[in-house]
Structure 1
Amino acid sequence: MLNTSNNNTRKMIVIHGGHFSSLGVFYEEASRVLMKDLDWKVGTLDGFDDILYGGFGVFENKEEIEIIWKESQKSKEDLGFKATREFYENKIRQGKPFNIELIQQKLDELMKGEGLTLFEILIEIIKSHTNIILRLE
């Protein structure tokens, strides 16, 4: 039997895969649902990781929350191999301040079927926060 009293105190935040189809618009969705009434917006993977520590809007630092990612299968496709390849290729084209060697290595791993897609990277970032439960729907 699940302890439902614990679930009642946990804030639920919904990321809706139907609201975005690119990483840039994912950041907008994450900013909208995680950071109410703040001027600063998420614009990088590191920035997304940072807001998951809490204290930036809708939940406090280390507060236990549950993120429900609706239409996650759509997001998995939208932020899959093709989007990830383009993400790395754009960074390589831009050059500095990016570590081109590291990005090329990540692109090579992706091309060999060994690297993570953007979707998988986002999932790993969320799961690295022990105060957050992630539910994919």
Structure 2
Amino acid sequence: MNKQKMTVIHGSHFSDLPGFYREASKVFMKDTGWEMGTLDGFDDILYGGFGVFENGEHVTVIWKDARKSQYDLGLEATKAFYEYKVRQGKPFNTQLIQQKLDDLMNGKGQTLFEILVEIIESHKNITLILD
């Protein structure tokens, strides 16, 4: 019997992006001793094969307290995220990041929460439930 795996992200366990990375590392990379720290790293672990599920295995992800996360990883956090990268400069493409920041401030850009949801939903073997 092929039982679908389920994992839960607890929005109550974090209030910023580093906290999200810690929570997601704990949830997806249990007992590996590895912790992600980038959006690309988060995308990579969702392919599976080196955490709690295998490559291509069907998984349901329940994001509890998603409203809290939507606020915590919303406009202000996203603005700070981009401003930090622009200040840091290399290796970041500051022109692209400045454009993303401008889009965000003009109501056209994605928040960190929306980016994370999009990353999860881009993996066809993962069903996301915002709770």
The TM-score normalised by the length of structure 2 is 0.98
Match of 1:107 in 2: 101
Tell me the equivalent position of 1:132. 126
> What amino acid maps onto 2:64 in structure 1?
K
Counterpart pick for 1:63 among 36, 53, 57: 57
- Indicate which of 35, 52, 62 corresponds to 2:46: 52
Aligned-residue offset at 1:9:
1.2
Summarize the alignment of residues 28-43 of structure 1 with structure 2, pairs less than 5 Å apart.
28-43=22-37
Give the equivalent residue in structure 2 for 1:23.
17
Q: Does 1:86 align with 2:103?
A: no
Task: Please give the alpha-carbon distance, in whole angstroms, between the structure 1 residues aligned to 2:40 and 2:111.
Answer: 16
Unaligned runs of 5+ in 1: none
| Alignment partner, residue 6 of structure 2 | 12
Aligned-CA RMSD value:
1.1
**Aligned-partner Cα distance in 1 for 2:6–2:89:** 39
Q: CA deviation at 1:38?
A: 1.4
Equivalent pairs: percent with the same residue? 67
- Tell me the amino acid that sits aligned with residue 71 of structure 2: E
Give the secondary structure class of the aligned counterpart of 1:14.
strand
Unaligned regions of 5+ residues in structure 2, if any? Answer: none
Deviation per residue, 1:51-95 (Å, 9 max, x gap): 000012100000000000000000000000000000000000111
Over 3 Å off, 4+ runs: none
